[in-house]
Chains A and B, each alone.
Chain A
Amino acid sequence: MAANWAERISAFSRSPTRFLSGTTAEAFLAELLRELRDDRASYSVKVLLLSPLCEHPTLLCPSDSVGEETALELMSVFAQCPPKLVGFRCHLLLALTSVLICTSCASGRSRASQDFLDLLLQIIQDPSDLHSDGSLRSICATACDCLRELEACCPGLLSQRLELLCGLRQQETSRLHQPYAALQTLVLRNAVYQLTQEKGAGAEHLKALLGGITSVAWEADQDSGLMNNKDSAILSSLILGPMGVVPTLQTGPDCKELRSVLSSLLEESYLLTPLCQAALLHRLTEVVAMVPGIPPAIFRAQLLRLLGTSEVCLLHATLLMKCAYTDSLFSAEDEAFILKRLVVLSQHPRLTAPEKLFYMDCILHFPENRPIDSGDDTLPVLLTPRLASALAPTVFNDSATLLSRFNLLSLVHLEEGEEAEEGQGLEYLYEHLTSLLYIVENRGSREIVVTFFRAVFLFLFYFHHVERYSTSLTEQLCKLYLHHTHLAPHLINLADQTQDRLSESNWAVGLLTALQKVITSLTQLSLKDLKWHLKMLGRVAEEGEIPQRNTLSFLSRVITPSFSSLCESGDWRQGNNVLGVCRRLLVHPSLDSLLIPLADILQHLARCYRDTDIQDHARLYYTLLTTLSREKLAGVMMQGATEGGREVKKRSLSSLMSEGEELTSLLTIHQTEKAIFRLTEAQSDPQQESKESDLHQDKVENCAEEANAALEAYRAQFSDPSFASEVTLKYQLAHTVGHDSRFDQLFSIRLHFSLTDNHYEKLHDISVPCLFRERPSPVVQLRLKPRQPYPTTLHASAIFTTQDGMSWHTAVPDIHVAFEQTFMPLPSPQTWGQGGKLGVFEGLWEEMCTEKEERAISLFCCQLEEAALNALVRKRFLPYLVSDPSHKDELKVLFFLPPQCHILLKIMSKEDAVHFNIATDNWQLLPHIGSYLLTITAAQEHPPS
């Protein structure tokens, strides 16, 4: 069993949704809790069982009430757990914290969360445990962590306990002082923030807060919690750099108490682990930023120690301090020192690569005392080319470091490029590219190749205007291509991206022209290279500016038998590559001058290429070229191309087949970005349905003995397994709100549904002929065949065609099938009257009262006025009513739920309340009917205004 649990828990954490589709969250949660209470299960397994609750509490506890119940369960497990099992108890505390916070029980100050808070406070204050045993200390530490998390998620929760926490920390001499300090600083920070939001709060309030005096005015606001009225601002870090505004608390210079708390925390900060120290410093930085009465100089004593540190998080906390206080704590010399320090750290041989990269990022976003502007990736003024030269990239760097350094140095020398073209830095960068190129030429790894092209892009991005280099780069890349034709995709990608990003530069066209030149002047070539050459020429042919005569003469040479064996080989892919170039030439602006040679090539392909498909396509292109006018040809070929152009590159088999995007777009199924339409439940009119049933109401025959006979006759119907096995739900198919005129008229819609659990049989697809935005929406009937009539969610998608002949695939918003949607009136024979139904009801009721097997009875009570009850019956129960509606003292309602479940209700108005006696032959339906009744009666109690 233990191994089984390990497997199941790991399956759950791998994919919770897939795991839960095989069961329900409810059932899984019940299983977990049962096992946790089971004395026979080992505690190592129990620790495992808590992980789904820690990691995905909202999946298992979808509502606050479930969360609340789960928390109560876990707390009782905690209470019964022997104190020795520290690990398990710690994990239990974590699970409780997760459940209470994520289900918002904690922010709602629910009963369970109050109890939990008391438990935690009790643990951290219990002096008997503290010094006896190291292991008990760890439960105390975990309790502190949980309190800190609760305070972090519900800011202000512990504001009233500041004095207590301060005292605990000060007394503590074991390592426990660290969790206390972390908790205290967070609570302090939130409490001070809270004060800044109070009008008129000042020194007195601050003093009261620290002294634990709770009678001050702002206490009234306590219960509402900050999260409710002040969105998430309090969760955010307050240190945002020069542009951020920090809320402040005006106290005047008199804040002795706060100052002494801060000093004591700072003095002992050295005793904390670097990670906790960094967090503490950051919190205190925020506090001091909020209280102008405390000068930032309070941190000064720590600064040297922090600036010399090898710990990345401590130096980072110091940088954030600089960001918050600028020149009120750091002089101009300090600033120069820190920047130099960052340059040193960015290349210090003793630090790891990720740390160095992080420091380099810190240089790019250096918090200057007097920033000139705060644009993205602007360098600090103090970073001179001289200083930055320490960060010059070398080929021995790993890719990430190399590119980061390359980018940084490019920024440093950006101005140099403009001022003096002979800049040495630029020279260095270009030579660095050359060194990389050299490695690529020597068959460098794929990683080097990718890095090289990224560096080239960066170089062009910053220096494309420096012609000396950009021209030389073109030459070098052409040479590289000739020796390594397989780099064609990289070169095409480079051309694409430089063209897109550097619209003012013509470099990409220059590169493509040069590549065309080197390819077309080749005197011999291998079939392997040819593939890449054709890809490249295809891309070249997309440029209207580039003359295509050379390309054409290259193509006609390639298909000549004396030059290559292409036509004889009949290679379909190669043929397609040739056609790909031709197709682009068909839409080239200089087509007029290319007409005859292009026609020759196409004709030759149509006649001689040893592949029928290629021949056919060549013939099609030939016909189009020779029979259509220029405009029409462009119209035919450009359709589709204009829609996406190069930007939308859909790699699909159909595009490979035709290499014609106008055909491709018709053959491809496109994906819509958003949902186009949705299914909404069609409102059926209960009145009308009940009238139908009235028609059969002939005579009343009410004999008890006949109940059994009726039941038998009723049951006999189920010998046909398909009898009453389906629920039919009606939905309207309608456009969603967003307006996209392409989708106003849709045709041949095919809806596909998939299940999210195992409670229903698979659904068939549904076809809808058309959907027009301006016409009434069609009604779709969904036939659900339940295995278990539980509420469920269906995923849906659809394929449809638009007016222009394109096919689309779209996601349809999920369909939620509520429990009551599976209700059906009793499927009694048509000829039966009220009496027969009543007979069945009585017969079933009697059986169910025996509570055997799956049967169960239950009672639901609520307070409803008579009028409200009547309205409820009229609105909800009429189709299912088997007793005479005029007999108000006891109403009998029967819900039939396919495949063969029944829920029977006897509704009676008693003095104090309305009683719903419930009987069912499937006890697992009880929670659903319970929550259904709760919802509908609550709605009746508080009708929507």
Chain B
Amino acid sequence: MIELHALSRTYAGAVPRRVFDRLSMTVSRGEYVALVGPSGVGKSTLLNLIAGLERPDSGTLVVDGVDFATCDDEALTALRRSRMGFVFQAFHVLPYLSVAANVALPLALQQRHGAQADARVAAMLESVGLAGRGDARPAELSGGELQRVAIARALVHRPAIVLADEPTGNLDPAAARQVIALLRDAVKREGATGIVATHSRVAAASADRVLRLAADGLHAHALGGADDVD
């Protein structure tokens, strides 16, 4: 599903910063993977590469059968639109749209409107425990609820991949636990592949597999011994 081969990424600057060098990794379809590692090691960078929001300096990257090297920005944008879903640390729910309209956004972007789309939005809201709150304004929701809206939005268009970067970073432990469970359940239910970058031990524990990113590359990680997972 996601194949990285010998991926390198260096940020230009006064002192160029090599984030990772010749990194390789494979994630299978339907897998739910947690990405952990110390701050600044490059977790977000890796997610951005997979999302096609950043370009590697070298190496190949094939996502859902599409080789990114053959894609221009337009094609990657289209790819994100149809096959990816995102959950952000800061929710990013549009304050001026209703909850339902926020969830429906990815469908609208694919020109999917009408009763079928509405039903799908309602179903997604129900699955994240927000049935009947579709007409509410985001300002009326709590942080945990907003993140549930974001989860519904990330999955409403049945993406092949869901990328979540510290989805619980802005939440209190109770809300975080709820969101982690919901995210995992939703990804599994929709049959999507999920990658969650996180510092949260609970979040990592919910994953099928935990990968630890370090300066010298990716390592399989057994929960319990890690120092960098809260």
Tell me if chain B binds chain A.
no
What residues of chain A have their CB less than 8 Å away from a CB belonging to chain B? none
What residues of chain B have their CB less than 8 Å away from a CB belonging to chain A? none
